[in-house]
Structure 1
Amino acid sequence: MVGFGKKFQESRYMGWKQYAINYKLLKKKIKRYLGERQANGEEQLRKEFMRVLDLQIEKFAMFLLEQEGKLATRFATLNEERELARNSGDPLLIEHCVKAYRALGMEILYLLQFVELNATGLRKILKKFDKTVTHKITDYYVSTRANHPFSQLQKLFRHAGIEAMLGSLTRSIAELNNGEKPFYDDPASFHLEDPVVDSIKGALERLTYSTRFLSFLSKHALIGDQDELPSAEDEAIEKQYDFMALVLNLMNTFLYMVNTYIVVPSADKYAISLGAAPTLCGVIIGSMAVAQLISSVYFSSWSNRSYFKPLFFSSVVLLLGNMLYAVAYDFHSLSILIAGRLLCGLGSARAVNRRYITDWVPINKRLQASAAFVTASALGMAAGPALAGLFKIKQKFFLLTIDANTLPGLTMVVIWLLYIIWLWLGFKEPVRKTLVEECIQTYSMPNEIAQKSSCGDLHSNDSASKRVMSPHGPEEQSLLQPLTETAIDIDSDLDDTDNVAEESEYSEEADKPANSFCEALQLLTNPVKVQLGIYFMLKYAMEIILSESSVVTTHYFGWTTGAIAMFVALLGFTVLPVNFLIGVYISNLFEDRQILVASEVMTCVGLATLFAGPIPYTKAQYMTGALIGFVSTEVLEGVNLSLLSKVMSPRLAKGTYNNGLLSTEAGTLARVVADGTITLAGYCGINLLLNLTLTPALAFALISLIATFFCYNSLY
């Protein structure tokens, strides 16, 4: 691998190498820091490394400004020729001018590609540094410089000069091709399909288009790294990628969440109909979470070998569990009811859902798939109670009673049966061993890997880029060739495959997954433990608010099952708009750790508002407290998982005992404890239920807030 090699030096851009972010130099400094960190301390090394990185970015930014100035000067000259061509009306002169603009556009495209490669180098070197130290720097470095008025980092992501030149390029070509039609008066008539212009737009979108909401949602899923470059293996994965299999995987996620929360509005009344206390709804709801503690582990292990089999098994178990839940009414058996919910919990395949996206969705689609996973969960959480609110009939069908108590189970039986048929007909199991062999055979040479996977292929999956890779005429082809060859060499400098022998032992260790649950726990640093503790707290508070809503509102306000279902559904539907607000706007104004603290404080406020005092308890007080508490925990969950994805060890990003499993177990355990608390508090009387369940929730929230302050400086 030649890095900035011979092809680069022989091209007309031979002087650009010295202005690029020196990835190899920075990597050598990281290796040197490994030997010095005991003597000098990690904090001093972090500061030194960030200063070196600032200097590299400053060097690149000054070069970029210089190049933009040169391009702007050439545009000014060419614009004068454009006016002469338009005034002359000579078709040959106009055609020559259009070609000149396209040639200048290729210069802009090359410069943008150079910027993109430097942005990639910055991301990769920050990620590499984070693997070597306890306290990571990526989030801190970007957040302290991205919006600083004197930071050159903005030149990597904001390109007002190039955007102005793109506007001039588009307008000039459009006017030359369309005669005297005014460009600004009727822009719809100037729908320009030019390969160079389209490619510049695509490159700008990759650098400046906001995917913050998708990125924010994807971190909720804790699904691997969303920012990796495509590799040779990913090329092979894309050959086996099946959209229908992904849809079925996401549908399993959605239906499981529907199944979990569809019983919330009616669980207390079902318990009463079986001769039990209404507060036994905690056991009815929480028994599913108890079984999920077990199922998460064996499903995570099973997904190492297959995806279809565990998804099929999950669906069958859920079908049987819902059948038991429905018939328990006519058997007048609380044991059958609990057994049905336990079976449903044993069918939780969320570990499989995550692993499928991690392993078999190509990198260029993984961000959207991860966001879809979170969206499916959120919609299922809201759709379950909403569906329960529609169950208002009561009649007998042979020996089976059909009413608001049994319809949640019966409805899910039908839905899971239809899903099983769809799964059987539509799911395509990926072939694992053949994939690896195909990668080795197809991409045996390092240079071939670079050509297949480099950032320098103008991201050929982009529709606009495809048009440039197959331009309309020989002129565009000749202009593109040096760009493509050079970009391959630039990108190869960022490729670690040419320095395998130089990699230190920590890299190999960082790629090794945990082999046991105990080993995974040993990898947890204090910041990770605090984040998992916060995750436990927020899930506990969220479960308390949702699971006891039917008992509390019936006792204090006399709400019907339909009213309870509507209220719980409305709470659930706040998930997506709240995450959109945080992911797109608030996360750009504040650091994650600042949002974390604020949402913890608001969670405490919401829980405190819910307490019943000596004055009459009102609907306004309950609904306000529930809304503040639930929305705050939603915000807290998003930011918490975002931080957790950053502070987790890279070894927990893969394998059976991964960060997704750990967070799932922490959240599930919280739900079990919360639902158990509701049932135990019920023995003290319905009047004390609300305060007895909210007291530990508020205590957990305050403890989490204190723990956050103790490790605040470690949360980057």
Structure 2
Amino acid sequence: MVAFGKKLKERQIQEWQGYYINYKLMKKKLKQYAQQIEVGIQDRRHVLKDFSRLLDNQIEKIVLFLLEQQGLLASRLAMLDEQNNTPQQQPEISQILELREAYRAVGQDLLKLLFFVEINAIGLRKILKKFDKRFGYSFTNSYVKTRANHPYSQLQQVFKHVGIGAVVGAISRNLHELQDRQGSYLSIYDQPALPLEDPVIDSIKAAVDRLTHSTNFLNFLAQHALIMQDELPTPVEEQVDDQKYHFMSLLLNLANTFLYMVNTYIVVPTADDYSLSLGAAATVCGIVIGAMAVAQVFSSVYFSAWSNKSYFKPLIFSSVVLFVGNILYALAYDLNSIAVLLIGRLFCGLGSARAVNRRYISDCVPLKIRMKASAGFVSASALGMACGPALAGLLQTNFKIYKLTFNQETLPGWVMAVAWLIYLIWVGISFKEPSRETEEHHLPQESNAEAAENDAVEKGLKQPLLTSSEDKQQDEDSEQECDESEEVSPESHGPATSIRSAYRLLTPSVKVQLLIYFMLKYVMEILISESSVITAYYFQWSTSSVAIFLASLGLTVLPVNIVVGHYICNMFEDRQILLASEIIVCVGVLLSFHIINPYSVPQYVCSGLILFVSAEVLEGVNLSLLSRVMSSRLSRGTYNNGLLSTEAGTIARVVADGTITLAGYLGDSKLLNATLLPSLFICISSIVATCFTYNSLY
């Protein structure tokens, strides 16, 4: 694999060469520090102080150049404004076109400057991560905390590109007016909802979004899928994507996601009654619901590996296994066998093809619509989560055909079996397997922010991260030396090849994010899975009432994401929302405890709503941060970040359902508090862990 520094050197722009972060110099410094510490001639305090000073100098160089370039752009815009505002009786079309091209030229130079900022931000993040990894210090935490929060922060200039917004506004406003100069005096400020159809502005907006991590509803929703959107494709990449893309195949993957989530939650309102009818305790519903998650722990791995070779065959296999699983689930009633019931749910879990669904979007959907496809993936999941319990509430009937019973307990199995049979036929007729030859020449789209940053640096930006004051041979030798000291073996450049190697790539920040993901899935599963037992014991709710409650919770997912994506994420940093959401989840757990008699419906519903909504908010920002702090090596291959997060969430569901079953031995009267205590402990642990790594989530 070509060394990182060499790839960057090939993309250098000579006139800006001296103003980029000197990444090579700092890598050499890390090697020197390691040697000096090893022989005992340097201590930790001096190393931290010296490296901080070096970073400060590098950042100051970048910021001063950035301000200088902003001034030059502002001067050009001022000259163009004079031409644009010069009184003329009737401006000629040629003059308008000339001005538009001049503004576009400024826009192109601004885009280059934004890429300059982005490259340096990438370099800073990478070198900070390398320092922490090399020496085991929390240097990033202390450095960012002291620099970013200072009133004269130069670090904020790099990460928040202060001042560029005014230049973007000037270009946008003038291009809009020149585009619509037909007697109208309205500006972009008068009609903010009207988009400016200009590719330069679109590119600038995309670049600004990457730097600020600002978002909208689609972006925020798409982050839940852990499929990276912020990439800078080359025309060749776009052409390859278009060759592989097939709309009906994408639709089939989204339908698979929707049906699987319906299949997961359609049994929740009736699982306790089904368990009782087969002679088991009502709390065995935890095992019935959780059996699907247990199997999914394993199915996620083999489906992720299978998707390296095919998308069609895994979907066929998934449909067949789910069809069989639901048939077994339905037959368990007439066979009077709890074992058949559990085997049926295990089969359903073995048919979980979510890894294939996610991978198809990542690899086979064009970049221009991948964000929408990712949002569709999450929306299909949310809709399935709401439709599952709602559908169960409608299946209130009881009749027999021959020896087969059709009632509220067995109908979920029969209905889903028919649905998967129809889906199987649909896949067989309509799915188109992408060309694997094309895929061999197309690098897998990386699904986290660091990987996208690397891709942006190495493929699209054509700007330097290194400076060179030595001759060519010395430069190459120095880079090779740094690369050798930085990496253990060539294999360290590739994707993780096992769960163990993937785990080794997890930094403390990533581990905390996965803990948070575990926590939020755990508390949500406790709330949902035990709802039928809790409401039957305290409130004597019917199956229909439980179904309405669960469906209402599921329907909050999209509205909550609209509010968070449109407003909250643009008002606060992700890490601020993360910590606040964790605290609110903790409050929701505390409010759910049965302490005061009688335990009322308003208390249960309100606490459940608070818990569920805050967990939904937490999931979005958690996955957004996770994508930025996770290693780029975890964006590719079988053991990728999507798989790791899925496994963390699935294990959380398994543990939660197991907790419900074990707590059931204490009796229904103690079930609620017994299951909430572990939730509270895990929640508090995640808050404490977040506080320790807060400043590294930057």
Assess same fold via TM > 0.5: yes
Measured in 2, the distance between the counterparts of 1:299 and 1:241 equals 21
Question: Which of residues 251, 255, 271 is equivalent to 2:255?
Answer: 251
> CA deviation digits over 1:462-514, x for unaligned, max 9?
xxxxxxxxxxxxxxxxxxxxxxxxxx9x7365799x99994624475553112
- The 1-side partners of 2:437 and 2:94 are apart by 55
Query: SS in structure 1 opposite 2:22?
Result: helix
TM-score, normalising length from structure 1? Answer: 0.80
> Deviation at 1:549?
0.3
Match among 501, 504, 518 for residue 500 of structure 2: 518
What residue in structure 2 maps to residue 554 of structure 1?
A: 536
2:614 equivalent in structure 1 = 632
Distance in 2 separating the partners of 1:516 and 1:701: 29
Per-residue CA shift, 1:249-286, capped at 9, x if unaligned?
Answer: 22212211111111111111111222222111111101
Q: Tell me which of 491, 497, 515 is aligned to 2:462.
A: 491
Q: Secondary structure at the match of 1:683?
A: helix
Deviation at 1:169, TM superposition (A): 4.8
Q: Deviations over 1:131-187 (max 9, x none)?
A: 634369699699948999985455578433453354345435644xx4xx4534999
Residue 109, structure 1, aligned to residue 107, structure 2: yes
* 2:371 match: 367
Provide the rounded CA distance (Å) in 2 between the counterparts of 1:562 and 1:184. Answer: 54
Distance 1:643 1:7 in 2: 30
Which residue is equivalent to 1:672?
654
Q: Distance in 2 between matches of 1:438 and 1:173?
A: 38
* Change in CA separation of 1:120 and 1:593 when aligned onto 2, cut-off 3 Å: closer
Q: For 1:308 and 1:136, how far apart are their aligned partners in 2? A: 47
Which one-letter code corresponds to 1:34 in the other structure?
L
Q: C-alpha displacement at 1:547, in angstroms?
A: 0.3
Q: Distance in 2 between matches of 1:433 and 1:131?
A: 36
In 2, Cα distance between the equivalents of 1:113 and 1:714? 28
Q: Secondary structure at the match of 1:401?
A: strand
TM-score of the pair, normalised by structure 2: 0.82
Matched AA of 2:58: V
Counterpart contact for 1:46–1:137, Cα < 8 Å: no
Alignment of 1:174-185 (within 5 A): 174-175=180-181, 178=182, 181-184=183-186
Q: 1:45 to 1:258 in 2, by over 3 A?
A: farther
One-letter amino acid matched to 2:429: L
Equivalent in the alignment of 2:58: 52
Deviation at 1:603, TM superposition (A): 1.9
The aligned counterpart of 2:69 is 63
Aligned to 1:202: 202
Query: Do the aligned residues in 2 keep the contact of 1:329 with 1:401 (CA within 8 Å)?
Result: yes
Q: Is the 8 A contact 2:70 2:164 kept in 1?
A: no
> Which sits farther off after the overlay, 594-603 or 378-387?
594-603
- 1:102 maps to a residue whose letter is R
**5 Å matches for 1:685-696?**
685-696=667-678
Q: Confirm or deny that 1:35 pairs with 2:39.
A: no
Alpha-carbon distance between aligned partners in 1 of 2:571 and 2:152, rounded to the nearest angstrom: 12
1:389 alignment partner in structure 2: 393
Distance 2:660 2:291 in 1: 13
The equivalent of 1:285 in structure 2 is 289
Partner Cα distance (1:45, 1:310) in 2: 50
Q: Against the structure 1 CA distance between its residues 598 and 371, is the aligned structure 2 distance closer, same or farther, given a 3 Å change threshold?
A: same
What are the superposed Cα offsets for residues 571-600 of structure 1, whole Å, 9 maximum, x if unpaired? 122222333333443334433333333222
Question: Counterparts of 2:157 and 2:634 in 1: how far apart (Å)?
Answer: 34
The letter of the residue matching 2:205 is E
The correspondence for 2:170, drawn from 164, 179, 186, is 164
AA at the equivalent of 2:206: R
Deviation at 1:665, TM superposition (A): 1.9
Where does residue 264 of structure 1 map in the other structure? 268
1:107-256 alignment, distance < 5 Å: 107-126=105-124, 128-129=126-127, 132-134=130-132, 144=148, 152-153=157-158, 155=161, 158-171=164-177, 174-175=180-181, 178=182, 181-184=183-186, 198-208=198-208, 211-223=215-227, 226-230=230-234, 232=236, 235-256=239-260
1:449 alignment counterpart: none
Q: Give, in whole Å, the separation in 2 of the partners of 1:579 and 1:359.
A: 25
Kept after mapping to 2: 8 A contact 1:158/1:208: no
Residues 147 and 261 of structure 1: CA distance in aligned 2, closer, same or farther (over 3 Å): farther
The 1:666/1:6 distance shift into structure 2, 3 A limit, reads closer
Give, in whole Å, the separation in 2 of the partners of 1:161 and 1:225. 25
* Structure 2 CA distance for partners of 1:566 and 1:118, relative to 1, 3 Å: same
Report matched runs for 1:529-548 at 5 Å. Answer: 529-548=511-530
**1:342 Cα shift?**
0.7
**Residue type at the aligned position of 2:19:** N
Identify the match of residue 316 of structure 1 among 305, 310, 320. 320
- Measure, in 2, the Cα distance between the counterparts of 1:173 and 1:286: 58
Inter-partner Cα distance in structure 2 for 1:523 and 1:199: 38
CA contact (8 A) 2:588 2:611 kept: yes
Deviation at 1:239, TM superposition (A): 2.1
Tell me the SS of whatever aligns to 2:541. coil
Distance 1:215 1:558, change over 3 A: same
What does residue 40 of structure 2 align with?
none
> Take 2:569 and 2:147, find their aligned partners in 1: how far apart are those partners?
10
Letter in 1 for 2:103: G
Residue 400 (structure 1) aligns with: 404
Amino acid across the alignment from 1:349: A
* SS, match of residue 613 in structure 1: coil
SS at match of 2:599: coil
CA RMSD of aligned residues (A): 4.0
Inter-partner Cα distance in structure 1 for 2:365 and 2:466: 22
In structure 2, relative to structure 1, the CA distance for the partners of 1:571 and 1:147 (3 Å cut) is farther
Q: Secondary structure at the match of 1:396?
A: strand
Greater CA drift, 121-130 or 55-64: 121-130
Instruction: Give me the whole-angstrom Cα distance separating, in 2, the residues matched to 1:361 and 1:590.
Output: 31
Corresponding position: 1:599 with 2:595: no
Alpha-carbon spacing, 1:217–1:188, altered in 2? closer, same or farther (3 Å) = closer
Letter of the 1:160 counterpart: A
CA distance in 2, matches of 1:215, 1:383: 24
C-alpha distance in 2 between matches for 1:37 and 1:365: 46
Percent identity, aligned pairs only?
46
State the alpha-carbon separation in 1 of the partners of residues 10 and 497 from structure 2.
41
Compute the displacement of 1:382 (Å): 1.7
Provide the rounded CA distance (Å) in 2 between the counterparts of 1:129 and 1:589.
29
Q: Is this contact kept in 2: 1:607–1:698, CA < 8 A? A: yes
Where 1:604 maps in the other structure, the secondary structure is helix
Does the aligned pair in 2 maintain the 1:212–1:583 contact within 8 Å?
yes
Between the aligned partners of 1:43 and 1:665, the Cα distance in structure 2 is 40
Count of aligned positions:
647
- Using the alignment, how far apart are the partners of 2:581 and 2:189 within structure 1? 45
Q: Are positions 1:307 and 2:289 aligned together?
A: no
- Higher radius of gyration, 1 or 2: 1
Cα deviation digits, residues 577-630 of structure 1 (max 9, x gap): 333333443334433333333222222221121111252110011112211222
SS at match of 1:223: coil
2:224 and 2:620 in contact (8 A); partners too? yes
Amino acid at match of 1:60: L
